[in-house]
Amino acid sequence: MNYFKEENNIARDLFDLEEILDFQLNHDVQIIRGEDYQYLCYIDKKVYTSALTPMGALTMGIKIYKEK
Protein backbone atom coordinates (compact mmCIF):
# COMPACT_ATOMS: atom_id res chain seq x y z
CA MET A 1 0.00 0.00 0.00
CA ASN A 2 1.31 3.44 -0.94
CA TYR A 3 0.35 5.69 1.97
CA PHE A 4 1.26 8.89 0.11
CA LYS A 5 -1.12 8.05 -2.77
CA GLU A 6 -3.84 7.08 -0.31
CA GLU A 7 -3.45 10.39 1.54
CA ASN A 8 -3.46 12.32 -1.75
CA ASN A 9 -6.77 10.68 -2.66
CA ILE A 10 -8.24 11.70 0.70
CA ALA A 11 -6.99 15.27 0.22
CA ARG A 12 -8.56 15.38 -3.26
CA ASP A 13 -11.91 14.31 -1.83
CA LEU A 14 -11.80 16.86 1.00
CA PHE A 15 -10.25 19.82 -0.84
CA ASP A 16 -12.54 22.82 -1.27
CA LEU A 17 -10.59 25.97 -2.11
CA GLU A 18 -13.37 28.39 -1.14
CA GLU A 19 -13.89 26.64 2.19
CA ILE A 20 -10.15 26.79 2.95
CA LEU A 21 -9.90 30.47 1.98
CA ASP A 22 -12.90 31.41 4.13
CA PHE A 23 -11.67 29.28 7.04
CA GLN A 24 -8.21 30.86 7.13
CA LEU A 25 -9.73 34.35 7.35
CA ASN A 26 -11.17 33.49 10.76
CA HIS A 27 -8.54 31.08 12.13
CA ASP A 28 -4.78 30.91 12.58
CA VAL A 29 -3.87 27.89 10.39
CA GLN A 30 -0.29 26.62 10.32
CA ILE A 31 1.19 23.51 8.75
CA ILE A 32 4.49 22.63 10.41
CA ARG A 33 6.78 19.68 9.78
CA GLY A 34 7.67 17.95 13.01
CA GLU A 35 10.81 16.15 14.11
CA ASP A 36 9.51 12.89 12.65
CA TYR A 37 8.95 14.58 9.24
CA GLN A 38 5.17 14.33 9.62
CA TYR A 39 3.19 17.49 8.91
CA LEU A 40 1.10 18.87 11.77
CA CYS A 41 -1.96 21.03 11.26
CA TYR A 42 -2.28 23.69 13.95
CA ILE A 43 -5.53 25.63 14.09
CA ASP A 44 -5.69 28.44 16.62
CA LYS A 45 -2.53 27.08 18.31
CA LYS A 46 -3.87 23.53 18.79
CA VAL A 47 -2.84 20.44 16.80
CA TYR A 48 -5.71 18.79 14.97
CA THR A 49 -3.94 16.14 12.88
CA SER A 50 -0.66 14.87 11.56
CA ALA A 51 -0.13 13.66 8.00
CA LEU A 52 2.49 12.62 5.47
CA THR A 53 1.86 15.63 3.21
CA PRO A 54 1.13 19.30 3.89
CA MET A 55 -2.07 19.21 1.81
CA GLY A 56 -3.27 16.13 3.68
CA ALA A 57 -2.62 17.85 6.99
CA LEU A 58 -4.47 20.99 5.88
CA THR A 59 -7.58 19.32 4.48
CA MET A 60 -7.92 16.73 7.24
CA GLY A 61 -7.15 19.28 9.97
CA ILE A 62 -9.94 21.59 8.85
CA LYS A 63 -12.38 18.67 8.55
CA ILE A 64 -11.54 17.45 12.07
CA TYR A 65 -11.82 21.00 13.46
CA LYS A 66 -15.28 21.47 11.93
CA GLU A 67 -16.51 18.11 13.24
CA LYS A 68 -15.67 18.92 16.87
Instruction: Fill in the amino acid letter for 19.
Output: E
Model pLDDT, residue 10: 95
Of 34, 33, 32, 19, residue with least CA distance to 65? 19
Model pLDDT, residue 68: 86
Average pLDDT score over the chain? 97
Each residue's pLDDT tens digit, 2-30: 999 999 999 999 999 999 999 999 999 99
Domain range summary for the chain, segments of one domain joined by +: 1-26
